[in-house]
């Protein structure tokens, strides 16, 4: 039986912290599906296509990882894709409360298990929201995200005229 896991998130944008968890999940499971939440009601810096494209490039290095967008419930996506586990990175205790609630809610909705993976300490301070805030004000985030994500951030804030 193929052991297939999901690494879900909004990935707006993908960071080295996400990739740390995805890469380690790829070492534990036969297949990993990076599940990009594309709920249209949420406003994001990057469109679903842009987020999927950046993740596709970032995950090309692992041959058992693919990227897919989903709308609606994560548990429905997992059922449709034959996914038995959801892998979530935990950066700090502060992540745990909400992640535990989601894990228990998802367990009440389906048979899918949630597996928590401690983020590597190297990336424990990293969050897409902070990356965006720093990039917006002209700070250097080049060490926190892949090069093409860095370029996309600089371009997007220049387009918006909000840098600096
Ligand atoms: O990057 P994020 O914001 O932590 O990602 C959150 C995400 C997309 C994984 C979460 O919001 C989600 O699973 N959304 C799908 C809707 C759903 O299933 N909601 C019930 C959660 S218990």
pLDDT exceeds 90 at position 148: yes
Residue 154: both structure tokens together? 């600089």
CB distance 64 to 30 below 8 Å: yes
Q: Is 88 a catalytic residue?
A: no
pLDDT (0 to 100) of residue 39: 85
Instruction: For residue 120, give the DSSP letter.
Output: P
Catalytic residue of the set 16, 51, 128, 150: 128
Cα of 5 from ligand 1 centre, angstroms: 15
Residue range 105-125, pLDDT digits in tens = 999 999 999 999 999 999 999
Pocket of ligand 1 (CB under 6 A): 8-10, 37, 73-74, 102, 105-106
User: Does pTM surpass 0.85?
Assistant: yes
Residue range 46-70, pLDDT digits in tens = 999 999 999 999 999 999 999 999 9
CA atoms within 13 A on the CB side of 103: 18
Q: Is 47 left (phi over 0), alpha (psi -120 to 50) or beta?
A: beta
Give dist(CA 65, CA 56) in Å, integer.
9
């Amino acid at each position: 039986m193929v052991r297939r896991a999901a690494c879900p998130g909004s990935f707006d944008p993908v960071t080295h912290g996400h990739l740390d968890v995805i890469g380690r999940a790829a070492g534990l499971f036969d297949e990993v599906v990076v599940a990009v939440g594309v709920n249209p009601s949420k406003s994001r810096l990057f469109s679903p296509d842009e987020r999927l494209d950046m993740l596709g490039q970032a995950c090309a290095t692992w041959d058992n990882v693919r990227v897919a967008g989903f709308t609606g419930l994560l548990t429905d996506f997992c059922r449709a894709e034959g996914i038995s586990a959801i892998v979530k990175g935990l950066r700090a205790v502060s992540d745990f409360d909400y992640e535990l609630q989601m894990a228990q809610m998802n367990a009440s909705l389906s048979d899918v298990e949630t597996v928590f993976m401690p983020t590597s300490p190297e990336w424990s301070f990293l969050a897409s929201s902070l990356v965006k805030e720093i990039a917006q004000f002209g700070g250097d985030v080049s060490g926190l995200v892949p090069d093409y994500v860095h370029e996309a951030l600089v371009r997007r804030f220049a387009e918006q005229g909000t840098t600096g």
